[in-house]
Structure 1
Amino acid sequence: MSVVLLDPRFPAMLPVEAVPLLGADIAYTEEVPVRVRWVIADLGGHTVDEAEVLVTTDLANELVQYRLDHGDTLIKAPSLLVAMEPDREIEAPGAASAPEIPVSGAGYVDGEIVGTDEHTVAVAGLRRTSRTEIPASVMDELEDAVALMTRALRQGEWEQAQTHHSLLAYLREETEELAEVIDAPGDLDEQELCRELSDILLQVLFHAEIANRRGSFDIGHVAGAFVAKMRSRAPYLFEEVERPVSREEQDRLWAEGRAREGKEPYKPSHPAPTAEPDSEPAEPAEPSSPLSTADEVIRTARARGYKDADIPTELRFPMLGLENDAPGDAARRLTKAVGQFRRQLAEDSSAAEQ
């Protein structure tokens, strides 16, 4: 017998290991949303008063506690793992010594359609607020990020001097660093991934605030543009009842959405991304080898006046230590060294410009 505990913030997020159990008789505690029961019904589940599988969002429910006390297996939604297993939480720098900061709100973000304005329609399509499943703590963090970016451009001379074009070098650099973390051998470093994603978010906020300063659009319009695009290209995300969507249907709807937007529909060779760029897909480029990228960055450094003594030895002599490497180690080591030296070149260039 099993208790399936869903996250009250994201009740439609079903644990993968619970899916095989949801095709027979299912019992629910009273607070489980009807739309979640519909999703489970689509998986073959039949609602009954008592069953071997109990679905709930309330761990404190008396029936839930009774069943767990009598040996039921608890299956948790993925989003609850950190909350219920704090040792898995990603620590912020200085978290041990930082004072606890209270946050506003204690529930969910609720609202209703409030209409739109001509500018929003022109930039992003319909802007609206509707009930979401975003916890208030997440909204607090996002509001802090937007407020900090706004203040940075009010106070910082360097920030005020930036343009969309001048920020491109930083965006490319941050994207490369994110790729390095994801491509690194071994287990994914979750905390480092979180930090690198925050650098990407900084770039998005920065560009949006620059546009806001000239009265063009703000971060809300950027989010609205994303929602408008998904409404056109992934309309199943706006249906009343959640349902599984096949790869074929996703590809078809994405192509139809592009056609409505005046773009040529095409059949992608992989699942459509959640926010596909507006540009037409480019021809796939030949992948660069680590040796060719090392050669490229060496040429760039020499063109900028760097002496060979200033260029890392592992770039100029990448074969050193090869006899001690396992398969693939040399390529990974060289790729990492290239990324580090590129960052040094970018930092030196930025310092020279200031």
Structure 2
Amino acid sequence: MLDETGLESFRAAVALLTKKFAMITFENRISYLDRDNVREVKEGEDDPNEVTLRPYERRAIIILMRRCLENSNIAIEDKDVGRAILAWEKSPGTLLYDGTAFSPIPTKPNRLNLWRGPSIKPVEGDWEPIQYFLRVVLSGSDDKKYQYLLRYLAHAIQRPEEKPEIMIVFYGGQGVGKGTFNTLLRRIWPYTTLGVQNAEEVVGRFSGCMERSYIVFFDEAWFTGSKRTINSLKSKITESWMRIEEKMQPARTINSYHRFFAVANDEHVANTDRDDRRFFVCQISDVHKQDKPYFKKLKAAIQDERCISAFVHHLTHLDISDFDVRERPITSEHLYQK
């Protein structure tokens, strides 16, 4: 039996564990979470490539809990630590998540929703440098391409719950602006833009990086000769759900709202059929190829709060009521892919 002082310390230990840790179920399997890690994933400012949710098995979380109590000023005896952990597991006050989600649609209260929207507040203003980049450089002054690209981006902001099932693909030589497009997307969605340099990160077995990614940007991570890779990618582009697997972690399933983009140097970027409707392929204009002064000004505009806020304002208020994101223009560049 615990005396009054021991009971007070015991209760303080359980309260500390409740504050620091949580439980989560994945398909009837219980795992454990460090709530600091949960906050880091949901609210932190680190790169999603580097920060992931880390579920622990019971044996591992007990070690963390013991260290947590040892580093606290709670005077609980070692023989009572195990009892405190058991009490924490049984307590109705312990946070218990029912799986994870990455959803712009509200989920049930006990689901751990990792969704994060755009970080830029829309404010009306001048965004001409970005408009020129989209229209002249990326779209090659082709109005049909430009209008689709612009509305595709507006769709990503206005209707995140509607998966487009279309991948935007740009190709062009060195110094034409491929990396700048990545910078633009990352400026708007800094916490949910995933940069991919190895396609296996997305199409391979272990794809934990996809769990909290909205914008998936392939940077030269392209294999025109791999039929398995392109077929797996096609499924990722269209499927409404995604299986998440990570080493030493329980597998789980999430709804997929991902937007896929890719840039490449080679004009032949994918082995696809001419009637494949999952790709919107454009050649980037070389009008500003290796034009360092132009891209320096453009990157400054993208970083300028007024310009990027004005662009997001335009995307937020652009009328897309009659826009069908799946009806993309068929480009001559697309017909070349086979």
TM over 0.5: no
Is the radius of gyration larger for structure 1 or structure 2?
1
Name the one with the larger helix percent: 1
Task: Specify the TM-score bucket, using the shorter chain as the normaliser.
Answer: under 0.3
**If the length of structure 1 is used for normalisation, what is the TM-score?**
0.25
**If the length of structure 2 is used for normalisation, what is the TM-score?**
0.25
Which has the higher relative contact order, 1 or 2, with Cα contacts under 8 A spaced 6 or more apart?
2
Name the one with the larger strand percent: 2
